[in-house]
Structure 1
């Protein structure tokens, strides 16, 4: 990890995800109840093309909509959950309006189910339906029933070849390769003599078809979006206070957002899915110091649960392990999110407000955005609106030490009651 005194740079990521969304209450041939997040879900991927047009057979590629998310889910659930299934060849249906309104998504699901049954498949034998629709949406790449059993993927492109970046003059190059199921993630780091560096990442199957299906299937499991809380006070970025707004897809660490790297679900979501049972520590005392293990590692305490006023805070520690391996280490560390009663969404708190770097298009070097650097650095304290202080005392590759202090904590004073004796 680069020293905090050095300029930390990265190049634009090669891959990106378009907006993805939930479709609460969308009617479909499947039940709207969330599937159990354990064992194996049988998935039927139905490729559609409009009658009168020429289909593109991407069956081998679309098979990775199953194998890729299966590897991802098996990794983050520590083997508790995965998917299997089948992919149909392109099936012709009458042209439908490309819309995410319930009327049209229901028709897409109905036509896909009917076409699959006509082709010899038995849709009722599958626990999830993925409809691959041959049209483009302006705002959405995918749509998922929340909760439910149906996913719609719009205009899935073919896999793009990975092109290594050009090595800047005067830099030292280091590379790494990480495999997650059928996906291969590449990372290039170019370091200048002064310690600043430029970071590039790419994946053969990072976003398509892993990130989008994982996100939409997350909606099927009852998960909502991963937001970012962005606040400014007198024109200065702050963690809390002043004018705040929610950035719906703003959490760069959680695949339930819109991210370049298909990172792990946050600890709160993993707990909701019962994939982290027994690894959460409820902070009830006025003051305490705790050791967190990496979210994607094995064993240990993975998150702190801190009750606040109308909010619950969740503290986790992220490192380059598992599906988080492609992240720039400068982005990772102790993260703080909160949840609200009655909502399935999460809000990432920017513990490094105003940390964005300037863009230098001429040199193809880009600064980490403010959201990309939201970790709570060692020696820093985040104070919540309730006055709860969360401090990263120290962190190393294997653990992070976090101290939590609630307002009103003070040293105990012993009062000696005076006794008056009658004479």
Structure 2
């Protein structure tokens, strides 16, 4: 929906607390009402840049002569009953621009409002500022904020394949499931926007916090045929619940339809089921790109106090560059922690990675838009201890990258020391070797066995965690190499080597 709106500069609101049982409910209390409405008035003064002022009158509890069904399930009937009761109580609803009916006894899951109009129905206890802002937005003519969900080849992508709108899907807009600001396109419709930059040429642009932009640029507007893209910066958590990642938000409007938030970080759900857990985390991460079907590329260069965004036109896309594996080290739990660097995405955000261990060829998929997750735990392959290597490939909506260069995994064996004999000592042909061993500091895997050889002759072996007493009988005479081996529970062996002089007699 598009078109200019003309919200009034001054709004007089009657907040009517209504009940129909024998006595009024305990919520909302007068103090809660005043707090929520005061915060709502402050919100509108800020979001409108001082162009709208909300003046609130809160009624005492007023009894209505109507049934719960009328008050909770009808609009015209509840307004008539409320208006009659308010007049009888000395209030004059006709003198107010807005009438907000608080009917906590309904215990409903949602509220409602005329779109556009003057009446709103708040039907549950302690609604909070976000609900009041939302319903008053409807009164001004704003509909629900939408998101768009796209799938291609069976996986979630930013834009491409088959796309479907999601009502309430913009959790970063006050008209969605949000406690946040109005989005830039809504501010433009209301006449409350700050500085909007129309982007017609490629370049890098600096965006202020959309909520506190002052005289800096509040948003970018990019037009291509019948489609308009909006880019703004939300550095603060906005959805009503859940942990999310703020950042650069991208919205689109096609042929005058609803403005839709684009899931610029697909495959990064928050665990919130409503309205869409993946769409809730929609910011385009730093270093990542989104290229639209019109070949407009948007890249987040940096975020902080401001965001830096690069826009390019007539851009083509490709699979990502090959990642670089930085480390693959054995850790506690009997596996390797493999870490890599996020590669250049070549125009479409990285959706995930495939980590493969060799020679087994076993692969692990890591869902990781843009490189939020660039490490994974890979189980230990005991059959290839000491010779396992790892490669990583990256995926975007154009396909898979080439494999990274392989990196050999680092393993850790026990800490080993020989307490007897000393290095270089003279020993008899039959001599004892005393060995102490402790777990390494990386995996904490306990020693499980030890064995040794002197020259080409094997000594005895011993199981357990140590210390070990090994016997080397019939050792070759002369200067010999004594090698002690200690293995841990993961099958990793530490070798300890020293020189001894075996006597002739």
TM over 0.5: yes
Tell me whether 1:334 sits opposite 2:334 in the alignment: no
Distance in structure 2 (CA, Å) of the matches to 1:372 and 1:337: 13
State the partner residue of 1:220.
139
State the partner residue of 1:353.
266
State the partner residue of 1:311.
227
State the partner residue of 1:187.
none
Q: CA deviation at 1:318?
A: 1.4
Q: Which has the larger radius of gyration?
A: 2
In the superposition, the TM-score normalised over structure 1's length comes to: 0.66
Pick from 173, 184, 192 the counterpart of residue 275 of structure 1.
Answer: 192
Say which SS state the counterpart of residue 370 (structure 1) adopts. helix
Distance in structure 1 (CA, Å) of the matches to 2:47 and 2:6: 16
State the partner residue of 2:33.
62
Distance in structure 2 (CA, Å) of the matches to 1:124 and 1:358: 45
Tell me whether 1:40 sits opposite 2:23 in the alignment: no
Pick from 205, 217, 222 the counterpart of residue 290 of structure 1.
Answer: 205
Say which SS state the counterpart of residue 69 (structure 2) adopts. coil
Distance in structure 1 (CA, Å) of the matches to 2:24 and 2:203: 64
Gap runs ≥5 in structure 1: 1-33, 158-207, 360-367, 410-423
Q: Aligned pair in 2 of structure 1 residues 326, 397: CA closer, same or farther (>3 Å)? A: farther
Q: CA deviation at 1:222?
A: 1.1
Q: Aligned pair in 2 of structure 1 residues 358, 216: CA closer, same or farther (>3 Å)? A: closer
Tell me whether 1:230 sits opposite 2:149 in the alignment: yes
**Cα pair 1:380 1:391 within 8 Å, conserved:** yes
Say which SS state the counterpart of residue 210 (structure 1) adopts. helix
* Deviation string, structure 1 residues 29-81 (Cα, Å, up to 9, x no partner): xxxxx984353311001111115455447333223342121122223223322
Distance in structure 1 (CA, Å) of the matches to 2:303 and 2:315: 31
* Deviation string, structure 1 residues 364-411 (Cα, Å, up to 9, x no partner): xxxx9422321112222111122221122x2232322222222289xx
Pick from 52, 55, 58 the counterpart of residue 81 of structure 1.
Answer: 52
More strand per residue: 2
Distance in structure 1 (CA, Å) of the matches to 2:169 and 2:217: 26
Distance in structure 2 (CA, Å) of the matches to 1:289 and 1:272: 26
**Cα pair 1:100 1:143 within 8 Å, conserved:** no
Distance in structure 1 (CA, Å) of the matches to 2:76 and 2:150: 39
Instruction: Write the mapping of 1:392-407 to structure 2, written as runs, cut at 5 A.
Output: 392=300, 394-407=301-314
**Cα pair 2:172 2:239 within 8 Å, conserved:** no
Distance in structure 1 (CA, Å) of the matches to 2:31 and 2:188: 34
Tell me whether 1:95 sits opposite 2:67 in the alignment: yes
Q: CA deviation at 1:119?
A: 1.0
Tell me whether 1:119 sits opposite 2:27 in the alignment: no
**Cα pair 2:111 2:124 within 8 Å, conserved:** no
* Deviation string, structure 1 residues 291-315 (Cα, Å, up to 9, x no partner): 2111122221111111134321100
Distance in structure 1 (CA, Å) of the matches to 2:160 and 2:111: 34
Distance in structure 1 (CA, Å) of the matches to 2:60 and 2:156: 51
Distance in structure 1 (CA, Å) of the matches to 2:239 and 2:313: 34
**Cα pair 1:98 1:136 within 8 Å, conserved:** no
Pick from 148, 155, 162 the counterpart of residue 243 of structure 1.
Answer: 162
Distance in structure 2 (CA, Å) of the matches to 1:49 and 1:105: 16
Distance in structure 2 (CA, Å) of the matches to 1:327 and 1:391: 28
**Cα pair 1:55 1:90 within 8 Å, conserved:** no
Q: Aligned pair in 2 of structure 1 residues 112, 40: CA closer, same or farther (>3 Å)? A: same
The range that moved more, 380-389 or 77-86, is 77-86
* Deviation string, structure 1 residues 329-362 (Cα, Å, up to 9, x no partner): 962111100123444x321101111113679xxx
Distance in structure 1 (CA, Å) of the matches to 2:186 and 2:87: 35
Say which SS state the counterpart of residue 64 (structure 1) adopts. helix
Tell me whether 1:154 sits opposite 2:123 in the alignment: yes
**Cα pair 2:242 2:270 within 8 Å, conserved:** no
State the partner residue of 2:285.
377
Distance in structure 2 (CA, Å) of the matches to 1:39 and 1:357: 38
Pick from 99, 105, 109 the counterpart of residue 75 of structure 2.
Answer: 105
* Deviation string, structure 1 residues 166-198 (Cα, Å, up to 9, x no partner): xxxxxxxxxxxxxxxxxxxxxxxxxxxxxxxxx
Higher relative contact order (CA 8 A, sep 6+): 1
Say which SS state the counterpart of residue 89 (structure 1) adopts. strand
**Cα pair 2:72 2:106 within 8 Å, conserved:** no
Gap runs ≥5 in structure 2: 317-505
* Deviation string, structure 1 residues 217-260 (Cα, Å, up to 9, x no partner): 0111111111111112222110112232222112121121113x
